[in-house]
């Protein structure tokens, strides 16, 4: 009988400790995008303004989109729409005027600033604002090196469009 009471007390103690641990406050962690909320695209580093977090990057563009980009001026806010599937974007397939008040409906649409209207070698030059934690990774690179940019599907605002920027790492085969 004493053994049963001891075992029962031990079980009650373990359950109580588990409940207390589950209810203990956890340290705040930054929200991480869930699968399906973001996509990846790649670009060539042109420059970074660390003070404003403005990253200038060259990205692949399809010929029709290159013609569309030529209708805008450097410094114009545009909405680029990528060709893509699931979490991977390939090249810019459409360029339209962007208004900060408009709702973004396309999964692969991204508000950016057109850094240059000249398209060379199927690359368009864009400027985006990147998150603070990504600055160190970009500063470690030289112009001409490639980046991987994680962007949100259908961002609600310019400020949350880019999730992270990292150096491009080619997959090993």
**Does residue 34 lie in a domain region?**
no
Of the two residues 47 and 156, the one the predictor is more confident about is: 47
d(CA 48, CA 135): 8
Overall domain count for the chain = 1
Which pLDDT score is estimated for 102?
85
**Does residue 46 lie in a domain region?**
no
Output phi, psi for 163, to 5 deg.
-95, -45
**Does residue 26 lie in a domain region?**
no
**Does residue 19 lie in a domain region?**
no
Predicted confidence (pLDDT) at residue 25 exceeds the cutoff of 50: no
Domain that holds residue 152: 55-167
**Can you give the pTM of this predicted structure?**
0.77
d(CA 112, CA 67): 17
**Does residue 148 lie in a domain region?**
yes
3-state secondary structure 62-111: CHHHHHHHCCCCCCCEEEEEEEEECCEEEEEEEEEECCCCCCCCCCCEEE
**Does residue 11 lie in a domain region?**
no
d(CA 70, CA 54): 22
d(CA 81, CA 93): 6
**Does residue 71 lie in a domain region?**
yes
120-165: pLDDT as tens digits: 999 999 999 999 999 999 999 999 999 999 999 999 887 889 999 9
Predicted confidence (pLDDT) at residue 100 exceeds the cutoff of 50: yes
**Does residue 37 lie in a domain region?**
no
């Amino acid at each position: 009988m004493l053994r049963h009471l001891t075992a029962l007390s031990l079980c009650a103690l373990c359950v109580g400790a588990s409940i207390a641990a589950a209810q203990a406050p956890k340290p705040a962690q930054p929200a991480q995008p869930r699968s399906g909320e973001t996509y990846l695209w790649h670009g060539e580093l042109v420059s970074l303004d660390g003070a404003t977090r403005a990253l200038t990057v060259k990205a692949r563009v399809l010929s029709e989109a290159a013609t569309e980009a030529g209708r805008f001026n450097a410094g114009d806010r545009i909405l680029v729409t990528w060709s893509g599937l699931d979490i991977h974007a390939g090249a810019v397939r459409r360029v339209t005027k962007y208004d900060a008040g408009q709702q973004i409906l396309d999964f692969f649409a991204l508000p950016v600033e057109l850094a240059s209207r000249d398209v060379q070698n199927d690359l368009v030059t864009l400027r985006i604002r990147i998150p603070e934690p990504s600055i160190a990774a970009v500063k470690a690179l030289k112009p001409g090196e490639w980046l991987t940019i994680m962007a949100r599907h259908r961002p609600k605002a310019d400020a949350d469009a880019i999730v992270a920027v990292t150096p491009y790492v080619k997959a090993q085969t």
